[in-house]
Amino acid sequence: MGIFKDMTDRYCQKILETYQTQADEKTYKGKEAELLVQRNDFAKCLITKIKEIDVNDNDYLDYFERILKEINLNLKEVKAAVKEYNKECKTEFTTDLYESLFNSSLINFINALRNLFESSPSLITDIKDKSLFSNERNVPWICQFSFILYEYILEREFDIAVNKADRDIFDAKKQLIFKYIQSVGDLCSRFNKKEDDVSYQELMKALLKNMRSEEQKIQRRQEENPTSYNVMSYFYKASEKIVGKNQLGQKIELLVNEFDGRALQGLVCK
């Protein structure tokens, strides 16, 4: 399975689970509860269909287009089912969270994933085996490096798609990530034997230091110009500073620590 197919399957499932959690938090009674069960079945069926869609000849643009068509077809079926239910039961229910959260989030995330694929360097899009793309030290450094940063991107895109979070400087940080993925790939190509090469280690550490410095500059520009961001963005940044779970700066610190660990082990740079 290719890495973008894996990303699609994982995050579509995550969107389904988010929708089901929010739907469960609402109070549905009687006929409306019956309709909720029916809508949930449609949602599960759609995710199953998405997971069954294959990527042909690494043509991800066609793959994402087929997924979007399936999502739109599914919404038409749900609307028709709700209309029929209202007719039979003399009710006036709507698609509710199904359309406003589930369907909308899927479309937004798939579009974001398609843009991510189109923006990604070939050294990422050419990866065919998802087992090579992970946060493990037994994979090439460029793959571990990229995986950690792509998880940051995916989590932010998920938050934007589902919670309508503000993009603020996220796109600037994405461009920073693409720039350094290419730089790391170029450096690994120069030293294609062992990671215990002293020159390689010094250059990689300097590169990571530069990346940390550039990310901090982007962050400072954001903090020094708060008037250009809305209130929701402010609260998001505040919570990010407190929790730090998916902050890019913390990901870079993780990369620094991981590279130090790999350097000590003298792992092969493939």
Is residue 109 within 8 A of residue 158, CB to CB? The reply is yes
pLDDT block averages, 10 residues each, the chain of length 270: 94 96 80 85 97 94 98 96 92 89 97 95 89 92 95 96 88 95 92 77 95 92 62 46 64 95 69
Task: Quote the pLDDT of residue 1.
Answer: 78
CB-count exposure of residue 250 (10 Å: 0-12, 13-18, 19+): middle
Task: Quote the pLDDT of residue 241.
Answer: 44
Q: Is residue 102 part of a domain?
A: yes
- 100 and 199, same domain (yes or no): no
How far, CA to CA in Å, does 259 sit from each of 62, 74, 147, 183, 203?
36, 45, 14, 15, 12
Q: Is residue 262 part of a domain?
A: yes
Tell which of 59, 85, 119 closes a domain.
Answer: 119
- 141 and 265, same domain (yes or no): yes
Task: Quote the pLDDT of residue 236.
Answer: 46
Task: Quote the pLDDT of residue 196.
Answer: 75
- pTM for this one? 0.86
Consecutive H or E run containing 229: none
Task: Quote the pLDDT of residue 44.
Answer: 97
Task: Quote the pLDDT of residue 266.
Answer: 66
Task: Quote the pLDDT of residue 251.
Answer: 96
Q: Is residue 233 part of a domain?
A: no
pLDDT digits over 210-242, tens only?
A: 999 999 999 887 777 765 445 444 444 544 443
pLDDT digits over 81-118, tens only?
A: 999 999 999 988 888 889 999 999 999 999 999 999 99
- 68 and 149, same domain (yes or no): no
- 141 and 255, same domain (yes or no): yes
Which residue segment(s) compose the domain that 204 sits in?
136-224+244-269
Q: Could you give the number of structural domains in the chain?
A: 2
Task: Quote the pLDDT of residue 235.
Answer: 45
Q: Is residue 12 part of a domain?
A: yes
- 59 and 155, same domain (yes or no): no
Tokens linked to 13: 């499932």
- 58 and 110, same domain (yes or no): yes
- 140 and 110, same domain (yes or no): no
